[in-house]
Amino acid sequence: MSPISLIGPIGLMLRSLLALVAACLSASLALAQSKSSDWDKIVEAGRKEGKVVASIPPSAELRKLMELTFPKRFGIGVEFVPARGGNIIRKMVDEAKTGVHYFDLHIGGTESAITGLLPENILEPVEPFFILPEVKDPKQWWGGHIWADNAKRYIHAFVAYQTISLWSHADQYKPSEFKSFDDLLNSKLQGKIGISDPRTPGSGNSMWSYMLSIKGEEYLKKFVAQKLFVTRDLRVLAESLARGKIAVTSGIAYSEFFPFIKAGLPVVPLPVPKEGLYISGGYGHLMILKNQPHPNATKVFVNWLLGRDGQEIFSRAMGVGSRRLDIDTKWLREFGVVAAKDFLTLEQYHKYENQSEEKVYKIREPGAAAARRLLGE
């Protein structure tokens, strides 16, 4: 993956997002012709329930596009709660313990879900919510239905991709200067590197844990000595890079930079280092809460989200690679992202992914423990 400029294609991407919304809305008639009477009954019941309540990734673009399309398509309202995983997971767990059932489903990363939701036994098996053939049929998906949890029932992974998660301010640090993780130890970058806090679940921990697994803890000690700017606020991290307050960021991806790219600021992804990179599912995982207050609306939303229209919207708004085979993902290369289905075998995916329950406890949790040792509690 070579360094590229993101500014040139951004206008085309914005136009394609608007065109996508129009296409999704106009497709409703075609879908209606193929609906079964059972599906019609589910949709009608969902309308009577009034809405679906979903925790979604903290992306204004994703929220806007889903609010524009889903209610108009099905006549069912939506209540989206954009949030990073850790905070919303705690809220869901606390509510479940007191018998409150507010959320229907959660879309997000795996680490906080695996360590927070699974042990509390508050998730419903996802597959029974697959109603439409285009969602249910594993042949529609690269790799079939892939699950992040060991039971292969509760956390459906609908996204798989590789992204650098390392970005620079092009005026301060040129992508051509970066070839290895060792380059981050250059004295010119001291006090100029910002990272997403690896002590908590999320993209910051993903990159940090990968660096630990391939470079070792001694490397991380030298990395910390670079006087890192550490934050859990991805917006602050992205803005700090875009405004030139720092030169490089780690553990933050395209969706957080989108507003600044749109504004024409010189933020660019760094090339893949010689040590390689992990495969991520990012926020692309679906979980359904037990005792959801709007079960039929939930079924409708799940089938829309995992259908072609929902995956087009999620992929383009978030800048990630859907595993659906009928979704074009090759355009992502312009934005420093490569969908797993476009360059990996399934065997390679399972080797390099870092989102599964096994990898969370084998790689991510030890990484978080190392971060606490080196950065403090």
pLDDT digits (tens, 9 = 90+) for 69-96: 999 999 999 999 998 778 899 999 999 9
Q: What is the largest CA-CA distance in the chain?
A: 66
Asked if 53 and 46 count as a contact pair (C-beta separation under 8 A), the reply is no
Total residues belonging to the chain: 377
* pLDDT on residue 336: 79
Ranges of CATH 3.40.190.10 domains, the chain: 7-160+281-343, 162-278+358-375
All residues at 6 or more sequence positions from 57 whose CB lies less than 8 Å from its CB, including other chains: 82, 107, 108, 255, 283, 318
* pLDDT on residue 312: 97
Where residue 262 falls among pLDDT bands split at 50, 70, 90?
A: confident
What phi, psi does 93 have (nearest 5°)?
-65, -45
* pLDDT on residue 34: 45
* pLDDT on residue 13: 54
Structure tokens at 69: 């399309």
Beta bridge partners of 77: 51
* H helix count then E strand count, the chain: 16, 14
Average pLDDT over every residue of 238-251: 96
7-160+281-343 — its CATH code? 3.40.190.10
The residue whose two tokens read 């990734």 is 57
Residue 367 in this model has a pLDDT that exceeds 50:
yes
Q: Give pTM, 2 decimals.
A: 0.84
List the Cα angle 122/294/39 in 5-degree steps: 115
Where residue 261 falls among pLDDT bands split at 50, 70, 90?
A: confident
Residue 128 in this model has a pLDDT that exceeds 50:
yes
Q: Poorest-confidence range of 8-17, 230-239, 297-306?
A: 8-17
Asked if 198 and 251 count as a contact pair (C-beta separation under 8 A), the reply is yes
Write the pLDDT tens digit of every residue in 283-329.
999 999 999 999 999 999 999 999 999 999 999 999 999 999 999 99
All residues at 6 or more sequence positions from 200 whose CB lies less than 8 Å from its CB, including other chains: 86, 232, 368
* pLDDT on residue 21: 57
Write the pLDDT tens digit of every residue in 192-211.
999 999 999 888 999 999 99
3-state helix, strand, coil in the chain (%, to 5): 50, 15, 35
Contacts by 188-193, CB closer than 8 A, 24 or more apart: 189/226, 189/247, 189/248, 190/226, 190/227, 191/226, 191/227, 191/229, 192/246, 192/247, 192/248, 193/226, 193/228, 193/229, 193/246, 193/247, 193/248, 193/249, 193/250
* pLDDT on residue 1: 33
Write the pLDDT tens digit of every residue in 48-63.
999 999 999 999 999 9
Q: Does domain 162-278+358-375 have CATH number 3.40.1190.20?
A: no
Residue 11 in this model has a pLDDT that exceeds 60:
no
Average pLDDT, the chain: 90
